Amino acid sequence: AQSVTQLDSHVSVSEGTPVLLRCNYSSSYSPSLFWYVQHPNKGLQLLLKYTSAATLVKGINGFEAEFKKSETSFHLTKPSAHMSDAAEYFCVVSDLTRDTGNQFYFGTGTSLTVIP
């Protein structure tokens, strides 16, 4: 079975400094991986997805994530935090099976605070 671990429940950075949100997954084969962002009282918005075409994935709003199979990690980064980046971030792994179709497994989320 797939599982996802977000290593930090809360991260706090100063505006203009780098952001690192950590995600580790467990999978017996090549996974599909996603990062989502959620602003208060809103749904989840897709930031980026790993499709196995490239290990470094670029997403929206300047975010990137690097897939490292040897470390089973998919950490999310951004060079310079902006106040509007303050939100909850979710790492998700999906599993496609013949019987059940697409199954999605969510991390517990990382709350990002950006200090002015």
Partner 1 sequence: DGGITQSPKYLFRKEGQNVTLSCEQNLNHDAMYWYRQDPGQGLRLIYYSQIVNDFQKGDIAEGYSVSREKKESFPLTVTSAQKNPTAFYLCASSIVKVGNQPQHFGDGTRLSIL
Using CB under 8 A, which residues numbered 49 to 88 contact partner 1?
49-52
By CB under 8 A, tell whether 22 contacts partner 1.
no
Whichever of 16 and 54 has its CB closer to partner 1, that residue is 54
Interatomic CA distance for residues 116 and 113, integer angstroms: 10
Cβ atoms 64, 74 nearer than 8 A: no
Binding residue for partner 1 (CB under 8 A) from 32, 59, 77, 86?
32
Structure tokens at 25: 């997954």
**Which residues make Cβ contacts (< 8 Å) with residue 102, sequence separation at least 6?**
94, 95, 96
With CB under 8 A as the contact rule, the residue among 9, 17, 55, 80 that binds partner 1 is 9
Residue 45 contacts partner 1 per CB under 8 A: yes
State in angstroms the smallest separation of the CB of 63 from partner 1. 15
How far apart are alpha carbons 44 and 88 in whole angstroms?
9
Neighbours of 49 (CB within 10 A): 15
Interface residues with partner 1 (CB under 8 A) are 9, 32, 34, 36, 41-46, 49-52, 90, 92, 94, 96, 100-102, 104, 106-109
